[in-house]
Amino acid sequence: MGTLSFSFDTDKLQKRSDEITKGVDRAPGRSLLYTTGRIKRPADMDKPFIAVCNSYIEIVPGHVHLRELADIAKEEIRKAGGVPFEFNTIGVDDGIAMGHIGMRYSLPSRELIADAAETVINAHWFDGVLFMPNCDKITPGMLMAAARTNVPVVFVSGGPMKAGLDPHGKAITLSNMFEAVGAFKDGKLSREDFLEMEQNACPSCGSCAGMFTANSMNCLMEALGMALPFNGTALAILKQRRELVRQAARRVVAVVKQGLTPREIMTKEAFEDIYAADMAMGGSTNTVLHGLAIAHEAGVDYTEKDINRIAKRTPHIAKIAPSSHWTMEDVHRAGGMPAIMNELIEMGGDVFHPDRPSVTGKTIRENVLGHHSQDEAVIRPVAKAYSPVGGLAVLYGNIAKNGSVIKSAGVDPTITTFTGKAVCFDSHDAAVKGIDGGAVKKGDVVVIRYEGPKGGPGMPEMLNPTADIIERGLEKDVALITDGRFSGATHGICIGHVSTEAASGGEIALIRNGDRIHIDLVRRTVDLLVSDEELRQRRRELPPCTPKVKQGYLARYQALVTSADTGGVMVGYDQLLKAANELQ
């Protein structure tokens, strides 16, 4: 079955929603539509039906205010000539889910969100969608649904939270709170200060205040062309956020009438530009995972190898928490994504493709024209870049033949290579216990495996182990590699997304305690210093991996998910058919 999309013809007034509103046979459905209270009069049946895909959920701080924002949006949609219908998706708060079984549901929730949005949009033939995400997996899940359904859309997120304050009045974010756990365990932080930080690290609604995954994705939506300027940086509590919602609501009705679909915006050049923007701002490593998944849904052929090519030509011009003390409100004050993108555009060459369409009705170039950094300490000019190459890198080697990802912007600039002795753990929990117990020392490379998409299952984040390492003063002296992933709050010599993962027989499963591992950030390699013959012998001795989960959603996810280097997308029909034929 082909992609469900449409072209709005202003003469014939053909709309997707005509499928459920026109003709004698649709009278029962029209009766139900009147019952909802959204249809006030027969003339409303001729207006575009606009879904408001809201991710309001009371246990996620980034989303607790979306109930109010959705009401603002629906009022504006009706004023603009559309009929709004709100529906909700689920959401997982990574910070709350961190360090226990809940984190194994985080990445898989992305697929549920995409599937749920697709289901509602296509089952009810909506003409357009206003997506309202904010946190980690919700934004990419909705972007995947937008690409899949290819119905005209506009995105507006809930915005970042204010930075918190530590007992000394210093700005802090959630990443500082995770690191405070290690400091408290190590006796470096008093109980009183620890409790004060706990109650003040997250002082308002909104996505966590650093350039973590949620804010990285919400910023990159501007570069992609799916959201309005300042979507990624205007704080959740600002009046500007509410005005952005009003503007986005009006724009979605206009985009429907224009007939501009997501796949017209989500081109290969657009994905090159989101990675260029990511390199410039030093965003989360999770953007690699999500960008590849969104490209897959959009039918764009994009791989991790393309990302290194982008990194080589893109300067790193902003270091935001956790890589510095600057927070999202500092980025907004300094000019936000328009200033960052305009800096790249003014470089010229092929660093950025600014003449692409966007949901604003203007090109990306027009969206950011005239925007420059208002604080060069926060957003540097290219001439004063932290590095001439981007803040993310994909590393390859004999333990990452299909790639691995590091946030090079979060590594101390004095470190270009690291060689150390492997200390292996077969789970996140075992690693935390080992680090707390003193099993990890200077010069070690912590290996955490069987935590990939299949092995986890769900590819949980390794924020607790990395935070423990940092707070023990080992940030420059210990590296960590994993087939799991990291929070955007992670920094240090931390390599994730190692592919192929251990649960699928990847080489990371062959590492043994005491093996030496060499990391080269310049050559972008990560290698186990063991002979090929020894690795072949270890593979012969490697026992098969037993699935950790046998029932429920995680069991199904475990069976169908693909590798991190593909974006961790689910196996498609063609792949399932091929596997079935191979079994016959």
- How far is C-alpha 497 from the geometric centre of its chain's CA atoms? 14
Starting from the edge strand earliest in sequence, which strands make up the sheet with 128-132, in order?
Answer: 83-88, 49-54, 128-132, 153-155
Task: Tell me which of 292 and 183 has the higher pLDDT.
Answer: 292
Tell me: the pLDDT tens digits for 83-96?
Answer: 999 999 999 999 99
Please give the Cα distance from 166 to 168 (Å, whole number). Answer: 5
Domains of the chain: 18-162+204-382 (3.40.50.2300), 163-203 (no CATH), 393-541 (3.50.30.80)
pLDDT value at residue 463: 83
Burial of 198 per CB tally in 10 Å (0-12, 13-18, 19+): middle
182 pLDDT band, cuts 50/70/90, is confident
Please give the Cα distance from 258 to 150 (Å, whole number). Answer: 14
186 pLDDT band, cuts 50/70/90, is confident
Q: Do you find a cis peptide bond into 457, omega within 30 degrees of 0?
A: yes
Active site residues: 487
Determine the average pLDDT of the residues in 7-32. 82
Q: Do you find a cis peptide bond into 566, omega within 30 degrees of 0?
A: no
Residue 39 pLDDT > 60:
yes
Tell me: the pLDDT tens digits for 291-329?
Answer: 999 999 999 999 998 999 999 999 999 999 988 999 999
What is the residue-wise DSSP string for 190-248?
A: -HHHHHHHHHHSS-SSSB-SSSSHHHHHHHHHHHHTSB-TTTTTS-TTSHHHHHHHHHH
Question: Among residues of the chain, what percentage have pLDDT more than 90?
Answer: 85
pLDDT value at residue 179: 84
391 pLDDT band, cuts 50/70/90, is confident
6 pLDDT band, cuts 50/70/90, is very low
Residues written for the chain? 584
Tell me: the pLDDT tens digits for 337-378?
Answer: 999 999 999 999 889 999 999 999 999 999 999 999 999 999
pLDDT value at residue 582: 64
pLDDT value at residue 24: 96
Residue 3 pLDDT > 50:
no
Q: Which of 395, 386, 434, 390 is nearest to 418 (CA)?
A: 395
Lowest mean pLDDT among 105-119, 135-149, 467-481: 467-481
pLDDT value at residue 13: 54
459 pLDDT band, cuts 50/70/90, is very high
pLDDT value at residue 440: 96
pLDDT value at residue 93: 95
Are residues 489 and 283 in contact, defined by beta-carbon separation less than 8 angstroms? Answer: no
Q: Which of 320, 285, 56, 279 is nearest to 163 (CA)?
A: 320
Q: Which of 202, 203, 201, 232 is nearest to 133 (CA)?
A: 232
Residue 27 pLDDT > 80:
yes
Q: Is 578 annotated as a binding residue?
A: no
SS percent in the chain: helix, strand, coil, step 5: 45, 15, 45
pLDDT value at residue 11: 42
pLDDT value at residue 450: 97
Q: Is 366 annotated as a binding residue?
A: no
Q: Is 136 annotated as a binding residue?
A: yes
pLDDT value at residue 8: 40
pLDDT value at residue 352: 96
Please give the Cα distance from 307 to 311 (Å, whole number). Answer: 6
Question: Largest Cα–Cα distance in the chain?
Answer: 76
Q: Is 166 annotated as a binding residue?
A: no
Question: Among residues of the chain, what percentage have pLDDT more than 70?
Answer: 96
Lowest mean pLDDT among 269-273, 466-470, 529-533: 466-470
